[in-house]
Amino acid sequence: MSVYEIITGKIIEKLEQGTAPWTRPWSGGQLPRNLVTGKTYRGINLFLLNMANYASPYWLTYRQCQEKGGQVKKGERSSQVVFWQLPEKGAKEQDDEGEEGTGRKAPLLRYYCVFNAEQCDGLDIPQLEQEAREFSPLEACEALIHGMPANSPEIRHNEQKAYYVPSMDYVNMPKPETFRSSEEYYSTLFHELTHSTGHSSRLSRKGITVHNGFGSADYGKEELVAEMGAAFLCGCTGIENLIDNSSAYIAGWLKAIREDKKIVITAAAAAQKAVDYILNKQQQAL
């Protein structure tokens, strides 16, 4: 398999998981960089390392980690970065299978594996000055959140990732000040809160109560429900639900829509129930 196929496969894998690696409404505040050399990564490597969603911008190879007196934590998986390698003087060009070509000297695309500093123990990590940003809470959105039923999930800000954990019933959000705008923070939060309504103690929605793998029809439907719910809640609070955020879930929807032509209608109905629950409203007949 060529380097191109490896990298393309990783991008497709993220899209199929409902994540567009180049579209993220928040940032870690610093560009990815090598811990040893201090150089920032460029080009496709920015996307590849951002897909890992670590708060630390520092990366290093396994050998670099050991040389700095650290150790990669057991079970951690590496990320790939690519570089162009110039052939040695006099070397003939080779194709991806190692066969000699015309003799024209050409750089070869190669990759190597790196680990984020958060995946390692025993490293001395320098502190970076974080970009100062202001977050302005939106009154209508805050009123909606505080008006949810008493058994609403806890909202945490522990990691630079947005997700809902059904087993522990909490929503994790990136820190508000790391979003490009207040509207994007609440739009993302509304998506995760819609997921939380599927918990067994609330609406007991199959997409949440039953584990569904990425790319499955149930997974696609649940993502569609969550994004529709977020759109409804954004409408209720008068903020814009940006289309770039929604596009990240297209891959997950496609499989579900192909397998069930009624899914858009049923997902909209489920999203309305979720919104009614979040707004603490009783269901009303149409």
Calculate mean pLDDT across residues 149-176: 93
The answer on pLDDT for 261 being more than 70 is: no
Whether the per-residue pLDDT at 40 is higher than 80: the answer is yes
Whether residue 182 is predicted with pLDDT greater than 70 in this model: the reply is: yes
State the average pLDDT over residues 262-278: 85
> Percent of the chain beyond pLDDT 70?
69
Q: What is the pLDDT of residue 165?
A: 94
User: What confidence score (pLDDT) does residue 154 get?
Assistant: 97
The percentage of residues in the chain with a pLDDT greater than 90, rounded to a whole number, is 36
Report, as an integer, the average pLDDT of 213-220.
62
Q: Are 277 and 202 in contact (CB under 8 A)?
A: yes
Structure tokens, 139:
């009154």
Give the residue with greater pLDDT, 39 vs 262.
Answer: 39
**pLDDT tens per residue across span 66-115:** 999 999 999 999 998 887 777 666 544 433 323 334 444 567 778 889 99
Whole-number pLDDT of residue 219: 73
Mean pLDDT within 29-48: 83
Tell me the pLDDT of the chain averaged across its residues.
Answer: 78
Angle between helices 139-146 and 182-196 in degrees, nearest 10: 20
Q: pLDDT tier at 41 (50, 70, 90 boundaries)?
A: confident
Q: Which residue has the higher pLDDT, 254 or 134?
A: 134
Helix H, strand E, coil C: the string for the chain is CCHHHHHHHHHHHHHHCCCCCCCCCECCCCCCEECCCCCECCCHHHHHHHCCCCCCCEEECHHHHHHCCCEECCCCCCEEEEEEECCCCCCCCECCCCCECCCCCCCEEEEEEEEEHHHEECCCCCCCCCCCCCCCCCHHHHHHHHCCCCCCCEEECCCCCCEEECCCCEEECCCHHHECCHHHHHHHHHHHHHHHCCCCCCCCCHHHHCCCCCCCHHHHHHHHHHHHHHHHHHHHHCCCCCHHHHHCCHHHHHHHHHHCCCHHHHHHHHHHHHHHHHCCCCCCCC
- Residue 210 structure tokens: 């039953």
pLDDT, average across residues 169-198: 93
pTM > 0.85:
no
Q: Is residue 286 over pLDDT 60?
A: no
Q: What is the mean pLDDT of residues 214-233?
A: 77
Domain ranges of the chain: 30-121, 139-278
Residue 227: closest CA among 263, 262, 201, 253: 253
The residue ranking higher by pLDDT, 85 or 169, is 169
The per-residue pLDDT for 14 is: 63
Dmax (CA) of the chain: 79
